[in-house]
């Protein structure tokens, strides 16, 4: 199996030769006061200890005085991390997962070579060393992030923080339909546009949409799937989203495409959905719901579906319960939690839904993200103009880290197809919804 | 969707006209002393109450004196249940799910018309009326069946009770390879033989078997899948089973087909599996493991798999945790429990396995069972000769009830494909293992 998306390897890929020969990465506009004076032996020792704890990966760490600490003497390094300030090193020692991201964004730390490769090394190691957390430990950790809880009000703040930063920005690097979820590539060579279309078709075929049916969508982004269902399958859609910017854009698009008689975009929480529908669909919202609210979500689905209703949940997930990377959770997706498949089924089981089919699209998300990162890098000057260099670096790290997470298996992507218990009319085999 | 296997409707299907015109079912060899004298009004009242509790289904109940109680005045009846003895009625009132089966087997009660339809009415009603049991209630119920627990010794007794009753008997009505698990019908018209072959191929393709690889199979039945993997995919198999009759048969077949250098049949418990394998597979054993032992099973899989290992669990399941029908659990499958998909994932999650794919083959099991029942009925004279009429009636009820359970959705069939966490070499899409 050679389909690991190597065709899409980006410029951040490490050169075959030693990293030390690579050019330093430019960080225009970020003025970082670098520490003068020599590193102390205790500081070099700390770096050696961190690299040891990571299993001696093929990484080099350079300190502010040029001191170089090599993770692995045998393997050629994938990347060199340069730490420009003493205070950064000490913060990194205290909470590496959180402060690596902050220091990188601030330019207190630079990476030359293969950024994704570096992050994958870190993810894979963390996985190998960790044991699944006990319920107790995870519970405490969740308690600590209570401030980020996904109540009606908390969700609004959490979603606003990520999705309302400007449609112009997302238009720079998403596909033309602004689909900000995992695409489906029947073959890896497909364009991002075609792969997002294929994903929407896959969802529609799994749900076996019939013209004239009514669908409720929870968390509709910029409206691409809702409009696709209306346009290509003759469906009536009520689509909920609490992001003001997204809903405004989606409504405008519905009017422009003359689909506003069939698609209603509602700026409200999924929990307030009203009416009865043939189909419930949610693509990329469950990550923002949080396990404490799965019962509410299940109750909403149960309330909204007709007696012969069906549905699909599409969500980033994990192989076992574990908190999201703390930097991502704090700086990128407040309140987010990717469930294990077992946890995800907690939405459906109390309401006796039948699980018809589960597909894991992990590799498709890694490839989707490679497309996004490539487009993001090619338009970074415009992003810098809209925001600043810190923002550019933060988003580069977030997209690269997400590729590393899906490549390493730290994250998964589950599509769960379900219907009411005991239905007679279900697909005989998958041939009915296969694509590609 | 017309693929509900109606093509395979058996002779037990109700006639279009009223059931009362049907011939009484013969029960040769069973001498049931019928109650003389009239039924009392309290007894007829009890029947009306039972029918009311079932939601007034289209069923007729006839008492020993010819008194007829009609469940539904409007719908034409699917079946007539004739109760020959007063004592039977009172036992039925006390524990209907258990005593219906016992009374039917003993000939104290007869069914004319559509036996499967009758049982499906009962299953569907039970479903509609029940709420998922709380963990506490289910726990108590499990405690009560502790005598049936699946310890090393308990499992041996439980398995012996069902699988060691004679290979000759199973040869009467299973396919030529003696595959006693759900088949896979790419189209419903396929023969049972072809559908069992297709199922084994589906399992092999999902696991992406490569010649020379080593597979451990837990619960191998009469050895069909192990021999299939060796013969058609060049695999080395160690197959475990605690049924003495089955292992003896499988070994003989391996010798006859000259595959005994590649397939080793071991009469021992899956928990004692030793060695390292590329693949773990278990088809139709998890039902006999019991949730109390899922951690042990997971530990066994984890211990047996190489670092890039993969596996498949195929099991009867349910939409939510609930005890198996009490008559089936007592008389047919002691110690059995069909898990919900969520419970099933409890085998895999603690060991961080990645779930790649879940397929629900519920309708395929209903169709498989229709084939078995048809063959069973056509050879029932031989079965009666090997055992007795009570046995024939017991097995007719078990097979018919299983069809009703899969038709109604009371039972599901889950195939769960998994591999080690973080593997790079996984299928890009399902096209790699699609059949049909």
DSSP states of B248-288: HHHHHHHHHTT-TTTEEEEES-GGG--S-EEEEEEES-GGG
Collapsing DSSP to helix, strand or coil, A359 comes out as: strand
**In the predicted structure, residue B120 carries a pLDDT above the cut 60:** yes
**In the predicted structure, residue A179 carries a pLDDT above the cut 90:** yes
**In the predicted structure, residue A48 carries a pLDDT above the cut 50:** yes
Question: Which residues, 6 or more positions from A388, have their beta carbon under 8 angstroms from its beta carbon?
Answer: A29
Residues of A in contact with B345 (CB under 8 A): 340-342, 345
Is residue A390 within 8 A of residue A290, CB to CB? The reply is no
Taking the C-alpha atoms of residue B400 and residue B402, their distance in angstroms, rounded to an integer, is: 5
Torsion of CA A48, A50, A54, A60, to 10 degrees: -50
Tell me which fold the domain B143-432 belongs to.
Rossmann fold (3.40.50)
* Beta-carbon separation of A341 and B345 below 8 A: yes
Question: Which residues, 6 or more positions from A240, have their beta carbon under 8 angstroms from its beta carbon?
Answer: A216, A217, A218, A219, A220, A266, A268, A269, A270, A272, A273
Task: Give the per-residue pLDDT at A75.
Answer: 85
Element (H, E) at B69: strand B68-70
Torsion of CA A199, A156, A317, A401, to 10 degrees: 90
Percentage of the residues of chain B whose pLDDT score is greater than 70: 88
**In the predicted structure, residue A2 carries a pLDDT above the cut 50:** no
Find the residue in B nearest to A405 (Cα): B422
Query: How close does chain B come to A411, measured CA to CA in Å?
Result: 9
Task: Give the per-residue pLDDT at A159.
Answer: 81
Collapsing DSSP to helix, strand or coil, B12 comes out as: coil
Q: Hey, do A6-129 and A143-432 end up sharing a CATH topology, with the first three levels equal?
A: no
Task: Give the per-residue pLDDT at A144.
Answer: 47
Question: Which residues, 6 or more positions from A51, have their beta carbon under 8 angstroms from its beta carbon?
Answer: A57, A59, A61, A69, A71
From start to end of A328-433, where are the E strands?
A: 354-360, 412-419
Which band of pLDDT confidence, cut at 50, 70 and 90, is reported for residue A264?
Answer: very high
Tell me which fold the domain A6-129 belongs to.
Nonspecific Lipid-transfer Protein; Chain A (3.30.1050)
Residues of B in contact with A132 (CB under 8 A): 349-350, 352
* Beta-carbon separation of B340 and A349 below 8 A: yes
- List, as one string, the DSSP characters of B298-339: HHHHHHHEEEEEEEEEEEEEBSS-----HHIIIII-TT----
- List, as one string, the DSSP characters of A368-381: HHHHHHHHHHHTHH
Mean pLDDT of A287-310: 96
Task: Give the per-residue pLDDT at A127.
Answer: 62
**In the predicted structure, residue B299 carries a pLDDT above the cut 80:** yes
Task: Give the per-residue pLDDT at A128.
Answer: 59
Rg over CA atoms, chain A: 23
Mean pLDDT of A252-269: 97
Which band of pLDDT confidence, cut at 50, 70 and 90, is reported for residue B161?
Answer: confident
* Beta-carbon separation of A354 and B360 below 8 A: yes
Give domain limits for chain B. 6-129, 143-432
The pair of structure tokens assigned to B83 is 């109760």
Residues of A in contact with B421 (CB under 8 A): 127, 319, 409
* Beta-carbon separation of B409 and A431 below 8 A: no
**In the predicted structure, residue A405 carries a pLDDT above the cut 80:** yes
pLDDT digits (tens, 9 = 90+) for A144-173: 454 467 888 888 888 877 888 889 999 999
Task: Give the per-residue pLDDT at A134.
Answer: 46
**In the predicted structure, residue A96 carries a pLDDT above the cut 70:** yes
pLDDT digits (tens, 9 = 90+) for B56-90: 889 999 999 999 999 988 888 999 999 999 999 99
Which band of pLDDT confidence, cut at 50, 70 and 90, is reported for residue A129?
Answer: low
Give backbone dihedrals phi and psi of A284, rounded to 5 degrees, phi first: 80, 25
Which band of pLDDT confidence, cut at 50, 70 and 90, is reported for residue B145?
Answer: low
Q: Which of A83-97, A218-232, B26-40 has the lowest mean pLDDT?
A: B26-40
Residue whose token pair is 């982004």 = A221
Which band of pLDDT confidence, cut at 50, 70 and 90, is reported for residue A178?
Answer: very high
Q: Is A369 exposed, middle or buried (0-12, 13-18, 19+ CB in 10 A)?
A: buried
**In the predicted structure, residue A418 carries a pLDDT above the cut 50:** yes
Question: Which residues, 6 or more positions from B307, have their beta carbon under 8 angstroms from its beta carbon?
Answer: B420
Mean pLDDT across chain B: 89
ipTM: 0.91
Task: Give the per-residue pLDDT at A347.
Answer: 98
**In the predicted structure, residue B147 carries a pLDDT above the cut 50:** no
Q: Is the dihedral of CA A9, A11, A14, A16 positive or negative?
A: positive
Give backbone dihedrals phi and psi of B354, rounded to 5 degrees, phi first: -90, 125
Mean pLDDT of B359-363: 98
* Beta-carbon separation of B430 and A430 below 8 A: yes
Query: For B164-214, what is the HEC assignment?
Result: CCCHHHHHHHCCCCCCCCCCCCCCCCCCHHHHHHHHHHHHHHHCCCCCCCE
pLDDT digits (tens, 9 = 90+) for A212-226: 999 999 999 999 999
Taking the C-alpha atoms of residue A410 and residue A156, their distance in angstroms, rounded to an integer, is: 27
Nearest to A398 by CA among A417, A383, A382, A385: A383
Q: Which of A96-100, A117-121, B4-8, B130-134 has the lowest mean pLDDT?
A: B4-8
Q: Which of A41-55, A299-313, B231-245 has the lowest mean pLDDT?
A: A41-55
């Amino acid at each position: 199996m050679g389909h690991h998306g190597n065709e899409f390897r980006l410029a951040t890929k490490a050169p075959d030769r030693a990293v030390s020969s690579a050019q330093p990465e430019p960080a225009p506009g970020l003025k970082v006061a670098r520490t003068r004076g020599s590193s102390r032996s205790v500081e070099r020792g700390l770096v050696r200890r961190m690299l040891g704890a990571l299993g001696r990966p093929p990484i080099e760490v350079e300190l502010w005085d040029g001191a170089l600490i090599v993770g692995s003497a045998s393997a050629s390094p994938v990347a060199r991390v340069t730490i420009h300030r003493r205070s950064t090193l000490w913060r990194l020692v205290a909470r590496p997962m959180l402060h690596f991201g902050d220091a990188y964004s601030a330019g207190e730390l630079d990476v030359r070579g293969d950024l994704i490769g570096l992050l994958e090394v870190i993810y894979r190691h963390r996985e190998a060393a960790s044991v699944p957390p006990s319920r107790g430990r995870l519970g405490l950790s969740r308690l600590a992030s209570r401030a980020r809880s996904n109540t009606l009000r908390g969700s609004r703040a959490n979603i606003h923080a990520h999705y309302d930063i400007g449609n112009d920005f997302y238009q720079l690097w998403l596909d033309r339909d602004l689909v900000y979820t995992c695409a489906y590539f029947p073959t890896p060579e497909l364009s991002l546009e075609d792969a997002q279309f294929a994903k929407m078709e896959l969802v529609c075929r799994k749900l076996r949409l019939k013209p004239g049916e009514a669908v409720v969508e929870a968390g509709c982004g910029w409206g691409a799937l809702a409009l696709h269902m209306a346009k290509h399958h003759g469906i009536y859609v009520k689509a909920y989203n609490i992001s003001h910017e997204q809903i405004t854009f989606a409504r405008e698009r519905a009017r422009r495409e003359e689909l506003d008689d069939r698609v209603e975009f509602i700026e409200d929480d999924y929990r307030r959905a009203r009416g009865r529908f043939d189909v419930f669909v949610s693509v990329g919202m469950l990550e923002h719901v949080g396990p404490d609210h799965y019962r509410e979500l299940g109750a909403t689905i149960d309330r909204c579906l007709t007696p012969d209703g069906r549905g699909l949940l599409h969500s980033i997930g994990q192989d076992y319960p574990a908190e999201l990377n703390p930097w991502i959770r704090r700086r990128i997706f407040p309140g987010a939690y990717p469930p294990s498949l077992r946890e995800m089924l907690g939405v459906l089981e109390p309401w006796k839904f039948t699980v018809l089919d589960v597909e894991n699209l992990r590799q498709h998300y890694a490839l989707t993200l490679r497309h996004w990162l490539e487009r993001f890098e090619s338009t970074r000057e415009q992003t810098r103009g809209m925001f600043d260099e810190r923002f550019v670096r933060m988003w580069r790290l977030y997209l690269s880290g997400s590729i590393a997470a899906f490549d390493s298996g730290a994250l998964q992507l589950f599509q769960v197809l379900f219907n009411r218990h005991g239905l007679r009319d279900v697909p005989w085999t998958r041939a009915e919804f296969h694509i590609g």
